[in-house]
Amino acid sequence: MKVLLNLDIILDILQKRPHHYPVSSAVLSKMLTREIVGVLPGHILPVIFYSVRQFSDERNTHDVIDWFLANMEIAPLDHFALIRARNLDMEDFEAALIAGAAEAYGCDAIVTRRVSDFKRAPVDVLTPEELLALLNQKPGKTQP
Protein backbone atom coordinates (compact mmCIF):
# COMPACT_ATOMS: atom_id res chain seq x y z
CA MET A 1 0.00 0.00 0.00
CA LYS A 2 1.41 3.38 -1.03
CA VAL A 3 0.42 6.27 1.24
CA LEU A 4 1.19 9.95 1.01
CA LEU A 5 1.90 11.46 4.41
CA ASN A 6 0.63 14.97 4.91
CA LEU A 7 2.84 17.54 6.60
CA ASP A 8 0.91 17.37 9.88
CA ILE A 9 2.02 13.76 10.36
CA ILE A 10 5.67 14.63 9.72
CA LEU A 11 5.55 17.61 12.09
CA ASP A 12 3.96 15.42 14.78
CA ILE A 13 7.11 13.31 14.63
CA LEU A 14 9.73 16.03 14.22
CA GLN A 15 8.25 18.20 16.96
CA LYS A 16 7.25 15.23 19.15
CA ARG A 17 3.77 16.69 19.59
CA PRO A 18 2.50 15.01 22.78
CA HIS A 19 -1.00 14.05 21.67
CA HIS A 20 -0.05 12.95 18.16
CA TYR A 21 3.54 11.66 18.29
CA PRO A 22 2.78 8.05 19.30
CA VAL A 23 0.37 7.28 16.46
CA SER A 24 2.24 9.30 13.83
CA SER A 25 5.52 7.61 14.73
CA ALA A 26 3.75 4.22 14.52
CA VAL A 27 2.80 5.08 10.93
CA LEU A 28 6.43 5.94 10.20
CA SER A 29 7.49 2.61 11.75
CA LYS A 30 5.16 0.77 9.35
CA MET A 31 6.96 2.52 6.53
CA LEU A 32 10.39 1.61 7.87
CA THR A 33 9.39 -2.06 8.14
CA ARG A 34 8.11 -1.85 4.56
CA GLU A 35 4.51 -2.65 5.48
CA ILE A 36 3.63 0.50 3.56
CA VAL A 37 5.41 2.70 1.05
CA GLY A 38 5.73 6.21 2.45
CA VAL A 39 5.45 9.14 0.07
CA LEU A 40 5.91 12.85 0.66
CA PRO A 41 4.62 15.59 -1.61
CA GLY A 42 7.76 17.29 -2.93
CA HIS A 43 6.65 20.78 -2.06
CA ILE A 44 6.76 20.11 1.69
CA LEU A 45 10.51 19.40 1.83
CA PRO A 46 11.35 23.12 2.17
CA VAL A 47 8.78 23.37 4.99
CA ILE A 48 10.41 20.41 6.75
CA PHE A 49 13.82 22.05 6.28
CA TYR A 50 12.58 25.34 7.73
CA SER A 51 10.82 23.63 10.64
CA VAL A 52 13.87 21.57 11.63
CA ARG A 53 16.19 24.55 11.20
CA GLN A 54 14.20 26.41 13.87
CA PHE A 55 15.44 24.02 16.58
CA SER A 56 18.58 22.47 15.13
CA ASP A 57 21.86 23.31 13.45
CA GLU A 58 22.43 23.32 9.71
CA ARG A 59 24.22 19.94 9.55
CA ASN A 60 21.43 18.13 11.42
CA THR A 61 18.82 19.87 9.28
CA HIS A 62 20.49 18.58 6.12
CA ASP A 63 20.75 15.12 7.71
CA VAL A 64 16.98 15.12 8.34
CA ILE A 65 16.26 16.06 4.71
CA ASP A 66 18.71 13.38 3.52
CA TRP A 67 16.95 10.83 5.74
CA PHE A 68 13.58 11.62 4.17
CA LEU A 69 15.09 11.42 0.68
CA ALA A 70 16.67 8.04 1.47
CA ASN A 71 13.64 6.50 3.17
CA MET A 72 10.60 7.91 1.42
CA GLU A 73 9.46 8.37 -2.12
CA ILE A 74 8.79 11.91 -3.28
CA ALA A 75 5.68 12.73 -5.31
CA PRO A 76 6.62 15.58 -7.63
CA LEU A 77 4.38 18.55 -7.91
CA ASP A 78 4.56 18.70 -11.67
CA HIS A 79 2.43 20.37 -14.31
CA PHE A 80 -0.12 17.54 -14.38
CA ALA A 81 -0.56 17.58 -10.60
CA LEU A 82 -0.99 21.37 -10.60
CA ILE A 83 -3.63 21.26 -13.33
CA ARG A 84 -5.37 18.38 -11.59
CA ALA A 85 -5.36 20.34 -8.32
CA ARG A 86 -6.95 23.34 -10.03
CA ASN A 87 -9.67 21.09 -11.45
CA LEU A 88 -10.51 19.36 -8.18
CA ASP A 89 -13.56 20.74 -6.45
CA MET A 90 -11.74 21.39 -3.18
CA GLU A 91 -11.89 24.52 -1.04
CA ASP A 92 -8.30 24.33 0.24
CA PHE A 93 -5.80 24.74 -2.62
CA GLU A 94 -2.91 23.25 -0.65
CA ALA A 95 -5.03 20.17 0.07
CA ALA A 96 -5.89 20.04 -3.63
CA LEU A 97 -2.17 20.14 -4.50
CA ILE A 98 -1.52 17.25 -2.13
CA ALA A 99 -4.49 15.29 -3.47
CA GLY A 100 -3.41 15.91 -7.07
CA ALA A 101 0.14 14.80 -6.31
CA ALA A 102 -1.13 11.68 -4.52
CA GLU A 103 -3.35 10.76 -7.45
CA ALA A 104 -0.67 11.43 -10.08
CA TYR A 105 1.87 9.37 -8.12
CA GLY A 106 -0.50 6.42 -7.74
CA CYS A 107 -0.98 6.60 -3.98
CA ASP A 108 -3.71 4.49 -2.42
CA ALA A 109 -4.39 7.01 0.33
CA ILE A 110 -3.44 10.28 1.98
CA VAL A 111 -2.71 10.04 5.71
CA THR A 112 -3.57 13.18 7.65
CA ARG A 113 -5.30 14.42 10.76
CA ARG A 114 -6.97 17.10 8.62
CA VAL A 115 -9.42 14.75 6.89
CA SER A 116 -12.05 17.48 6.45
CA ASP A 117 -9.69 19.40 4.13
CA PHE A 118 -9.72 16.45 1.72
CA LYS A 119 -13.45 15.75 1.39
CA ARG A 120 -13.34 15.67 -2.41
CA ALA A 121 -9.92 14.09 -2.85
CA PRO A 122 -9.65 11.57 -5.69
CA VAL A 123 -7.89 9.06 -3.40
CA ASP A 124 -8.88 7.70 0.00
CA VAL A 125 -8.06 9.84 3.02
CA LEU A 126 -7.25 8.20 6.36
CA THR A 127 -6.26 9.36 9.81
CA PRO A 128 -3.14 7.70 11.22
CA GLU A 129 -5.40 5.67 13.52
CA GLU A 130 -7.50 4.47 10.58
CA LEU A 131 -4.40 3.45 8.62
CA LEU A 132 -3.00 1.49 11.57
CA ALA A 133 -6.34 -0.26 12.12
CA LEU A 134 -6.48 -1.14 8.43
CA LEU A 135 -2.95 -2.55 8.50
CA ASN A 136 -3.78 -4.64 11.56
CA GLN A 137 -6.61 -6.42 9.75
CA LYS A 138 -6.10 -9.83 8.22
CA PRO A 139 -3.82 -10.07 5.16
CA GLY A 140 -5.58 -9.28 1.93
CA LYS A 141 -7.80 -6.69 3.56
CA THR A 142 -5.35 -3.79 3.58
CA GLN A 143 -6.88 -1.85 0.71
CA PRO A 144 -8.89 1.20 1.80
pLDDT tens digits, one per residue of 61-101: 999 999 999 999 999 988 888 888 999 989 999 999 999 99
Give me the CATH code for the 2-42+74-135 domain, please. 3.40.50.1010
pTM over 0.85: yes
For residues 5 and 72, give the distance between their C-alpha atoms in angstroms, rounded to a whole number.
10
Domain ranges of the chain: 2-42+74-135
Name every residue whose Cβ is closer than 8 Å to that of residue 142 and which is 6 or more positions away in sequence: 1, 134, 135
pLDDT tens digits, one per residue of 17-61: 999 999 999 999 999 999 999 999 999 999 999 999 999 999 999
